[in-house]
Amino acid sequence: MKLSQEDTIAAIATPCGVGGIGIIRISGSDSEAIGRLLFKSKKSIPSFKSHYLYSGNIVSPTTGAILDKVLLSVMRKPHSYTGEDVLEINCHGGPVVLEAVLSEVIKAGARLAEPGEFTRRAFLNKRLDLSQAEAVIDLIMAKTDRGLNLALSHLKGDLSKSINDLRSSMIDLLAIVEISIDFTEEDIHTSPVSKLSDSIQHIITSIDEILSTYGEGKILREGLSVVITGKPNVGKSSLLNRLLNENRAIVTSVPGTTRDFIEEVINIKGIPVKFVDTAGIRNVENVIEQEGIRLVWEKVSSSDIVVILLDGSTNLTEEDMEVIEKNKEGEIILVVNKNDLSPTLRNNALSKILPGVKPLWISAKYGYGIPALKEEIYARTLQNGQKDIQSDVILTNLRHKIALEKAGGLLAKAKRNIIRGLSPELAAFDMREALESLGEIVGETTNEDVLDKIFADFCIGK
């Protein structure tokens, strides 16, 4: 989408709903003029000071009606979020008053901002690079403190610095290669082949080190999906409620109580873990329950971990065996519930069905074994890429990962061509392509379509 930076844009920058304060953000060359048209104060204000709060009213120019008592601030370019003149109106946080003020702002000459357009302008005006702009949405969507700290690190520019350092090293090496192209007939000393290839390998190793953090970063950013499945009345909803420490799911002795998914996220040692309570697996004729069970299998197939829940106070049934059989090749945690009752199920019987799988015994009703279950889930995150990497830079974004992999592959190709003694033009071409690929991460070589896709995920007002 081609958006004009000549327009002055406006949007409500605070979440929908009722709150103490609601903020309307305006960015562009007409921001201050719009503020002067709508804002009326008891004292005459010859000129707004930048980054200063003024108390007054927003008044409709057409009716003279006071819409709200507000605080107004102007932030002049380039010292603003977008790098343009920005005006913010701090209103009372009711949706009706916010919509009324925004409507007058639009009438005064602004247009409604597209999703992410304020941050997009910040990128285009060099206030942020593209990886920092993407960190803004990660900051807003962070589910745990560790995810928040990681987003702050990227927003601060830690990832950008690492990428720009790599680009700087590549530019230096590319200059050496291109000198050998331009002056092949001259007696000019250039780096020996071994030294040049070693330097390229050093950059490849640095890229690989960053790529190795993606497993951790992806989990910190997106979390893990854990589906709780089993036959009816084994305690799936009780387990979810216990994990959440609240009565989120309805618990009854009637089979089929849970027909739709219930999803909630909890924090396990800084990892956002989304638990999904599902319908009990059984043979039913009810069309609604049949659809619910079909969807269970879809949810299970897309999850990171499946918790198979069994009732330890009864023998295994055909329904239990169906759940085990359909999941035994995946990433499973076998959990036996109701250990507060006299056990009928035995570990040795389960080991014959699932060799090497150690069951966890719990009581969802009383909370026994729940800490051990959380520890086991966290341990599985280590296997899925979360390695407690103590690194200044942790990769979280698939777009960045793809760009780094492409750059690493191109550099490896350039190194092989140099070692083989092939024409330096070939190595130079691959190195320029690798440089461009890294530039995509920070926005040096990113096209309009990519920007549209990135900022479409933002909320309006950010």
Asked if residues 34 and 20 have their Cβ atoms less than 8 Å apart, the reply is no
Going 120 to 126 to 130 to 135, the CA torsion angle's sign is: negative
Average pLDDT over residues 69-87: 96
Of 111, 2, 125, give the one whose Cα is nearest residue 75: 125
| pLDDT (0 to 100) of residue 195 | 84
What per-residue string of b and e applies to 75-101 under the rule 16 or more CB within 10 Å gives b?
bbbeebbbbbbbbbbbbbbeeebbebb
The C-alpha atoms of residue 109 and residue 27 are separated, in whole angstroms, by: 12
The C-alpha atoms of residue 140 and residue 71 are separated, in whole angstroms, by: 24
Is residue 461 scored above 90 in pLDDT?
no
Q: Pick the range with the lowest mean pLDDT from 120-129, 166-175, 254-263, 378-387.
A: 254-263
Q: Report the number of secondary-structure helices (H) and strands (E) in the chain.
A: 16, 13
DSSP-derived secondary structure letter, 92: E
Is residue 282 scored above 80 in pLDDT?
no
| pLDDT (0 to 100) of residue 257 | 44
pLDDT band at 292 (very low <50, low <70, confident <90, very high): low
Average pLDDT over residues 22-35: 96
Helix or strand holding residue 225 (H, E): strand 224-229
The token pair that represents 297 in the structure block: 């299998």
Asked if residues 300 and 306 have their Cβ atoms less than 8 Å apart, the reply is yes
Asked if residues 150 and 56 have their Cβ atoms less than 8 Å apart, the reply is no
pLDDT, tens only, 388-414: 555 568 999 999 999 999 999 999 999
pLDDT, tens only, 53-63: 999 999 999 99
Residues of the chain above pLDDT 90, percent: 49
What are the extents of the domains in the chain? 9-128, 133-213+393-443, 220-383
pLDDT band at 460 (very low <50, low <70, confident <90, very high): confident
Which CATH class for the 133-213+393-443 domain?
mainly alpha
pLDDT band at 231 (very low <50, low <70, confident <90, very high): confident
Is residue 4 scored above 50 in pLDDT?
yes
The token pair that represents 455 in the structure block: 């900022």
Comparing 252 with 415, which gets the higher pLDDT?
Answer: 415
Average pLDDT over residues 162-169: 95
Comparing 221 with 261, which gets the higher pLDDT?
Answer: 221
Is residue 224 scored above 60 in pLDDT?
yes
pLDDT, tens only, 83-139: 999 999 999 999 999 999 999 999 999 999 999 999 999 999 999 999 999 999 999
Q: Max alpha carbon distance in the chain (Å)?
A: 90
For the chain, how are helix, strand and coil distributed in percent, rounded to 5? 45, 15, 35
Which CATH class for the 9-128 domain?
alpha beta
Q: Provide φ and ψ at 104, rounded to 5°.
A: -70, -35
Of 69, 89, 74, 84, give the one whose Cα is nearest residue 24: 89
| pLDDT (0 to 100) of residue 222 | 85
Average pLDDT over residues 334-359: 87
Enter the CATH code of domain 220-383: 3.40.50.300
As a residue count, the chain comes to 462
Of 76, 69, 80, give the one whose Cα is nearest residue 22: 69
Average pLDDT of every residue of the chain: 86
Give the CA distances from residue 112 to residues 27, 57, 92, 117, 172, in Å, rounded to whole numbers and listed in that order: 11, 22, 20, 10, 45
| pLDDT (0 to 100) of residue 70 | 96
| pLDDT (0 to 100) of residue 349 | 82
Average pLDDT over residues 264-281: 82
Most confident of 9-13, 275-279, 311-315: 9-13
DSSP string, 56-86: EEEE-TTT--EEEEEEEEEE-TTSSSSSS-E
| pLDDT (0 to 100) of residue 391 | 59
Is residue 442 scored above 80 in pLDDT?
yes
Is residue 64 scored above 80 in pLDDT?
yes
Asked if residues 71 and 101 have their Cβ atoms less than 8 Å apart, the reply is no
The C-alpha atoms of residue 238 and residue 411 are separated, in whole angstroms, by: 54
The C-alpha atoms of residue 350 and residue 290 are separated, in whole angstroms, by: 28
Is residue 278 scored above 50 in pLDDT?
yes
Q: Do domains 9-128 and 133-213+393-443 have the same CATH topology?
A: no
Average pLDDT over residues 319-331: 83
| pLDDT (0 to 100) of residue 296 | 61
pLDDT band at 23 (very low <50, low <70, confident <90, very high): very high
Global confidence as pTM: 0.80
Asked if residues 143 and 222 have their Cβ atoms less than 8 Å apart, the reply is no
Cis peptide preceding 78, ω within 30 of 0: yes
Asked if residues 82 and 121 have their Cβ atoms less than 8 Å apart, the reply is yes
Comparing 235 with 190, which gets the higher pLDDT?
Answer: 235
Is residue 323 scored above 60 in pLDDT?
yes
